[in-house]
Amino acid sequence: MMPKIIAVETTLPPYRISQDQAAQFAKNLFSSSYRDINRLLKVFQNGDIESRYFVKDLEWFSRSHTFEEKNDAFIENAVSLGSKAVQACIESQDKLNYDNIDVIITICTTGLATPSIEARIMNQLPFSENVKRIPIWGLGCAGGASGLSRAYEYCLAYPHANVIVLSIELCSLTFQHGDHSKSNLVGTSLFADGIACALICGDESNVADSNHRAYPSIVNTQSTLMKDSLDVMGWDIKNDGLYVVFSKDIPSIVKKWLGPNVSGFLEQNSLQTSDINHFVAHPGGKKVLEAYQEALDFTQDMTEISLRVLKKYGNMSSATILYVLKEFLGKEIASGQYGLATALGPGFSSELVLLRWE
């Protein structure tokens, strides 16, 4: 019994900002705090990001906003863009309609809403009122892979189930206009807004289309928490909202910690890294992708798709791995090949998902 990932659809926010535009914005804002601003701004060029998408234009970010204003903007855009992603995902499958959806798992770490976002979306789209709602908050960049893991477990328990994993991250709305720390400067060069919706179906679901193509099945998953690493990544929550915590040590942590973590997981499944044909990696940044290669002894071509997503969209926190996964779903991959999906998040933590195309 292996649940399958049938579809991933994404929605783009309305404002595309080039990295040159973002660098100029940061220079205007941060130059009064740093004499060596031009040296620090190299982070915008060295990260291999070419463009990103935001729900607001640069003029909006040039002014200070209250936590309430930013969170109201989060709810409004999360519902409208999340609805579009869900609609596209459901309409992509001939045998799927809103009544077929058993569970919505909503992943987010960049805004707050109670009732949660999927409840608000269910008031706009014709879902059954009996859909199970599982909102998950706080997993950061690891959240998209974690959502796939939780969907896998649900489909093991209920093989007829069709589960939606909806990831909504509007990282830009956490931007702190008055925070001139280097962490905020790095975050300004890296993070972006993204929305993605994945469909995972149990073995006895009849939704998978009839063209006999190979889909990635989820074979197994593993969640790992590194003890005493709370200061590596996350938020400081203050009166003005969410302040980014982003350690410069993340690439070195990946190099030392991820290799044994992955090797142990693969050994449990009678595999080794040389058996992995496809690497569905959350591109936390260029240095993180390079650290993946070193830690797992992967060639550069294994991270090519992740780097392409990073270049085009930046780091969209939990949604990013689903953008990468969508690229893999668009490829013709032979049945029997293995993939490994991995993402790292606050905690410090990792989420691993072993895939096999069938």
Q: Note if 197 is an active site residue.
A: no
Q: Hey, which residues does 279 pair with through a beta bridge?
A: 340
Q: Say which residues have a Cβ less than 8 Å from residue 180's Cβ, sequence separation at least 6.
A: 29, 30, 32, 33, 34
The encoded tokens of residue 261 equal 């973590």
Q: Are strands 132-137 and 162-170 parallel, antiparallel or unpaired?
A: unpaired
**Quick one: how far is CA 150 from the chain centroid?**
15
Q: Are strands 103-108 and 132-137 parallel, antiparallel or unpaired?
A: parallel
Sheet of strand 193-201: strand arrangement:
132-137, 103-108, 162-170, 193-201, 4-11, 216-225, 349-357, 338-345, 276-281
The CA distance from 201 to 347, in Å, is 29
CB 120 within 8 A of CB 104: no
Spell out where 118-210 has E strands.
132-137, 162-170, 193-201
Of 48, 45, 346, 56, whose CA–CA distance to 175 is shortest? 56
Place of tokens 């790292």: 344
Of 281, 311, 303, 315, whose CA–CA distance to 190 is shortest? 315
Which residue is catalytic, options 89, 108, 141, 155? 141
The CA distance from 31 to 15, in Å, is 25
CB 54 within 8 A of CB 15: yes
Residues marked active site are found at 141
